[in-house]
A and B are shown apart, each in its own frame.
Chain A
Amino acid sequence: MADLTIVYFAWVREAIGRDEERVARPAPTASVADLVATLAARGGGYAEALGDPARLRAAIDQRFVPLDTPIGDAREVALFPPVTGG
């Protein structure tokens, strides 16, 4: 199956230093939180941005989801802080 695209926004994007990347697809049962933990373990900006999952929100294929949602066969996972529009 194709790789998984991850997109980052706001201070998550700034700490990681990129707005998008592709990673090897995790097991379909892996959750967004599992992915976050794997990425945070890279250290550096990843640890800074993703080390405290309570500060993060996520979307799978452009829909907001809780972090414990399985990634399944999604194409895109987005990681970002709580939104501040309006």
Chain B
Amino acid sequence: MKRVAIQAADFDVAAELAALEALGGGGVASFIGVVRGEGGLIALELEHYPAMTQVQVDRIVEEALARWPLLGVSVIHRFGRLVPGARIVFVGTASRHRTAALESCAFLIDWMKSEAPFWKKEHFGDGATQWVEARAEDELKAKGWKS
């Protein structure tokens, strides 16, 4: 099972996990990214490259499927204006082996951070805005999976 969704809408975590559990592998790992409301942040605006996002996330998922024995992978990434507490991203993997499920889940979220065409802009209560800067350590983490 392979599911990639790039959407504005929220997602149903229980339903996503249930679909992975139903594959019968016995092991499901997941990661959920949520907007933090630190420093007076009132919203996070996620921009993406529509013509590229789906195909690029597909490539990342294919890479995970090639590296680990997985029964299923789900990746959901939202775009648009998200408020603190809102879910941004879901990564779920299912496997007969817990190491495969856990490692591939970590790989997928690391690669989503540095290889998927999304950009975050922070909006603060005082009207200020700021584009989030890419973190060198995120790029290093993604590179770490390439060796």
Q: Which residues does A use to contact B, with CB under 8 Å?
A: 7, 9-11, 59, 62-64, 76, 78, 80-86
Contacts and interface: CB of A to CB of B under 8 A. Distances in A.
Contacts of B82: none
Contacts of B139: 82
Contact of B55 (A7, A11, A62, A84): A62
B47 interface: yes
Interface string B103-136: 0000001101111111111000000000111100
Interface residues of B, number: 30
A59 B117 CA distance: 10
A9 B49 contact: yes
Contacts of A85: 46, 48, 77, 89, 112-113, 116-120
Chain B interface main SS type: mixed
B114 A83 contact: yes
A84 B119 contact: yes
B26 interface: no
B1 interface: no
B131 A78 contact: no
B51 interface: yes
Given A9-B49, A10-B131, A83 B55 contact: no
B112 A62 contact: no
B85 interface: no
